[in-house]
Amino acid sequence: MAKRILLDTGFWFALYDSRDAHHEEALTLADDLAFDQLVLPWPCLYETLNTRFVRRSGWLASFRGLLRRRNVKMLEDGPYRERALAFVLESGGTAMRLSLVDAVMREMLRDLSVRLDAMVTFNELDFADLCLRRNIEMLSA
């Protein structure tokens, strides 16, 4: 049965950049994900499609093709932005300091109406508590 897998930005950089420390692992994971439902949060798309990425026409063409596949679903960030922003702005003295993108993803992971079976990330510590609580498998290093 196909899994619904949330993909973090680091996966995309690792997949396309052969110099990335996680490149080989990302290539292997990409093969394993071919038949799963891939859930791409909009904030990760903003983060991935930065100037460096879009200037590489091969990367962009490949990513464009991936986004057109039937097994790819974009996850809107609207319901999560305000809480995530408040968390980031108020977390200055806490142990957990996250980017706004990661905070939005944590809000998505908290949302029980978002069905997820697994998550691909190379920043396990940012998401491990929520994945464990929801029994979401972490696919990473």
pLDDT in tens, 41-67: 999 999 999 999 999 999 999 999 999
What's the domain range around 47?
4-75+116-139
- Whether the per-residue pLDDT at 81 is higher than 80: the answer is yes
Number of domains composing the chain: 1
**CATH number reported for the structural domain that contains residue 25 in this entry:** 3.40.50.1010
Cβ–Cβ < 8 Å for 47, 101: yes
- Whether the per-residue pLDDT at 95 is higher than 80: the answer is no
Instruction: Write down the pTM of the prediction.
Output: 0.91
Q: Is the dihedral of CA 20, 121, 84, 114 positive or negative?
A: positive
